[in-house]
């Protein structure tokens, strides 16, 4: 929906009207302005005409598994997001911040698309609203938003932060800042900027390799931001925010999953306080294959023996190719 237009239309109204309108959209999750009973009829009509609430998306997936939504944007572009329903009642939306991506990580489906453009904050917000409306019908709520869909959030910093600000608003969607996670390949300027924000959002850094040589090969951006620079920035971030940082590590067979590489990774991270490694099963999207479960288990053990905290994320709905980080808008 056109959030910029919403502000514009309500500029000429008393201040409380904007608050009422935003509360109707983000709290009551209305899908038609006629449902906004607190607003006068004339204003509802005007909003209906100039700021329609309909969201253009098609949905794929299974009722209790992950659902994947494909959004049609202006200019005929498409972008995807995923809803992950966890067994403990949490519902996470994995949102995209860009159409395509400039980074060309070898293992990532989005990179293979090339880069089209940044999403603006209403387009990112819509992805969350869409699933929030869906869940409302089941009397459920979104509990987490992760920027792990298409694109690199720190190359679209302002729109990402503005989205968080909107969804964090107490009079609206009211999702606490600790329920947002931003995942980055390690754009150092972004990490530094985030450390200065008032929002206590979670930071995740995609490492995927324990040394520059391998990382450069599978993630070309490592030439610009080598490991030492990234880890220095993370160190400063942790000191400043006292918040935990997650290092993501996708397990790719015979590429980054040996015992030696686990030892190297532990060496690299041992002095970074409050950090932990999240081992992610690789979703095959091209030239690589996923590590075998026994290999992942052993890799985890080596890290833990060396004092590194480790968590594990399994394949979310690989059957419908819906995991975060491999969205490509193929349909
Ligand atoms: N650009 C950001 C956020 C988008 S990707 C980043 O790279 O962090 C979100 C996560 O999914 C990243 O850790 C990314 O490396 C990972 N990912 C990409 N392709 C994947 C795949 N095929 N299988 C599993 N994880 C993948």
Q: Is pLDDT at 47 greater than 90 in this prediction?
A: yes
Q: Give the confidence band of 18 by pLDDT, cuts at 50, 70, 90.
A: very high
- Ligand 1 atom with the smallest distance to the CA of 152 is 1
Looking at residue 318, what is its pLDDT?
A: 43
Q: Which of 81, 94, 148 to mutate to test the pocket of ligand 1 (most atoms within 8 A of CB)?
A: 148
Centre a 10 Å sphere on the Cβ of residue 248 and count the other Cβ atoms it contains.
19
Nearest residue (CA) to ligand 1, atom 21? 283
β-bridge partners, 206 = 248
pLDDT by residue (tens digit) across 224-277?
999 999 999 999 999 999 999 999 999 999 999 999 999 999 999 999 999 999
Q: Is the pLDDT of residue 316 over 50?
A: no
**Cα 38 to averaged position of ligand 1 atoms, centre (Å):** 43
For atom 8 of ligand 1, the residue with the nearest CA is: 184
**What are 157-204's pLDDT values in tens digits?**
999 999 999 999 999 999 999 999 999 999 999 999 999 998 899 999
Q: Which atom of ligand 1 is nearest to the CA of 151?
A: 1
Closest C-alpha residue for ligand 1 atom 14:
325
The protein residue with its alpha carbon nearest to ligand 1, atom 13, reads 206
Q: What is the pLDDT of residues 117-133, one digit of tens each?
A: 999 999 999 999 999 99
Closest ligand 1 atom number to CA of residue 108: 19
Atom of ligand 1 nearest to the CA of 208: 15
- Ligand 1 first shell, C-beta below 6 A: 107-108, 148, 152, 183-185, 206, 248, 250, 280, 282-283, 285, 323-326
Q: Flag the least confident range among 183-192, 236-245, 278-287, 298-307.
A: 278-287
At residue 320 the predicted structure's pLDDT band, cuts being 50, 70 and 90, is very low
Q: What phi and psi, each to the nearest 5 degrees, are found at residue 293?
A: -55, -40
Mean pLDDT of 306-310: 96
Domains in the chain with CATH codes: 1-54 (no CATH), 71-320 (3.20.20.70)
pLDDT of 328 reads: 55
CB 26 within 8 A of CB 173: yes
- Ligand 1 atom 15 nearest Cα: 206
Q: How many CB atoms lie within 10 A of CB 276?
A: 15
Which of 84, 253, 321, 325 to mutate for ligand 1's pocket (most ligand atoms within 8 Å of CB)?
A: 325
269 CA to centre of ligand 1 in angstroms: 20
Ligand 1 atom, smallest distance to 184 CA:
8
Given this model, what pLDDT does residue 11 score?
A: 94
For 94-103, the pLDDT digits (tens) are 999 999 999 9
Give pLDDT, residue 251. Answer: 95
Using alpha carbons only, give the angle 143, 145, 151 rounded to the nearest 5 degrees.
165
Q: How far is the CA of 159 from the centre of ligand 1 (A)?
A: 20
| Residue 273 structure tokens | 């306080």
Burial of 251 (0-12, 13-18, 19+ CB in 10 A): buried
Averaged over 83-99, what is the pLDDT?
A: 91
Instruction: Please list the helix, strand and coil fractions of the chain in percent, rounded to the nearest 5, in that order.
Output: 40, 20, 40
For ligand 1, the distance from its centroid to the CA atom of residue 109, given in whole angstroms, is: 9
Specify the pLDDT at position 326.
Answer: 58
Distance from C-alpha of 93 to C-alpha of 101, rounded to nearest angstrom = 19
Q: Is the dihedral of CA 320, 326, 327, 331 positive or negative?
A: negative
- Reply yes or no on whether the pLDDT at 329 is more than 90: no
**% of the chain with per-residue pLDDT over 70:** 93
Cα 199 to Cα 173, 184, 195, distances in angstroms: 15, 17, 9
Give residue 319's pLDDT.
Answer: 39
Beta bridge partners, 173, equal none
Pairing of strands 57-61, 91-94: unpaired
Distance 190 CA to ligand 1 centre (A): 17
Q: What's the pLDDT at 62?
A: 67
State whether residue 254 is helix, strand or coil.
Answer: coil
> In the predicted model, is pLDDT for residue 206 greater than 50?
yes
Task: Write the CA distances from 320 to 61, 145, 276, 307, integer angstroms.
Answer: 7, 20, 29, 36
* Whole-number Å distance between alpha carbons of 293 and 259: 14
Please calculate the CA angle 274-276-277 and round it to the nearest 5 degrees.
Answer: 160
Q: Closest Cα partner for 323 from 146, 75, 115, 177?
A: 146
Distance CA 194, CA 237 (A): 8
CB proximity list for 202: less than 8 A, separation 6 or greater: 178, 180, 181, 182, 243, 244, 246
CA of 183 to the centre of ligand 1 (A): 8
Tell me the whole-structure pTM to 2 decimals.
0.94
pLDDT at 178: 95
Q: Over range 15-26, report the average pLDDT.
A: 96
How much is the CA Rg of the chain, to the nearest whole Å?
Answer: 21
Per-residue pLDDT band at 67 (split at 50, 70, 90): confident
Average pLDDT in the chain: 91
Residue 317 has a pLDDT of 42
User: Catalytic site residues?
Assistant: 80, 324
Lowest-confidence pick of 19-23, 178-182, 277-281, 321-325: 321-325
């Amino acid at each position: 929906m056109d959030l910029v237009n919403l502000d514009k239309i309500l500029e000429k109204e008393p201040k409380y009207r904007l608050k009422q309108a935003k509360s109707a959209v983000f709290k009551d999750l209305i899908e038609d302005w006629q449902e906004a009973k607190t607003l006068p009829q004339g204003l509802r009509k005007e909003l209906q005409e100039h700021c329609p609430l309909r969201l253009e998306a098609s949905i794929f997936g299974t009722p209790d598994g992950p659902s994947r939504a494909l959004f049609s944007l202006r200019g005929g572009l498409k972008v995807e997001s995923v809803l992950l329903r966890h067994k403990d009642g949490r519902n996470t939306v994995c949102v995209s911040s860009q159409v395509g991506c400039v980074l060309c990580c070898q293992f990532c489906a989005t990179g293979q698309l090339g880069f089209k453009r940044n999403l603006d904050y209403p387009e990112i917000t819509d992805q969350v609203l869409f699933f929030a409306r869906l869940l409302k019908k089941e009397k459920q709520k979104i509990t987490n938003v992760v920027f792990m869909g298409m694109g690199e959030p720190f190359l679209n910093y302002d729109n990402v932060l503005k989205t968080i600000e909107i969804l964090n608003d107490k009079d609206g969607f009211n999702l606490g800042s600790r329920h947002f996670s931003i995942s980055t390949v390690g754009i150092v300027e972004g990490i530094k900027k985030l450390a200065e924000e008032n929002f206590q959002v979670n930071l995740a850094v995609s490492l995927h390799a324990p040394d520059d040589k391998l990382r450069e090969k599978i993630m070309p951006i490592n030439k610009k931001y080598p490991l030492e620079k990234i880890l220095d920035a993370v160190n400063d971030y942790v000191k400043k925010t006292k918040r935990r940082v997650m290092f993501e590590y996708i397990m790719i067979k015979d590429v980054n999953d040996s015992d030696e590489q686990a030892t190297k990774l532990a060496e690299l991270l041992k002095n970074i306080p409050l950090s932990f490694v999240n081992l992610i099963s690789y979703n095959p999207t091209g030239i690589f294959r996923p590590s075998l479960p026994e290999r992942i288990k052993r890799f985890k053990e080596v890290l833990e023996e060396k004092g590194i905290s480790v968590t594990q994320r399994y394949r979310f709905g690989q059957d419908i190719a819906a995991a975060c980080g491999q969205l490509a808008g193929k349909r």
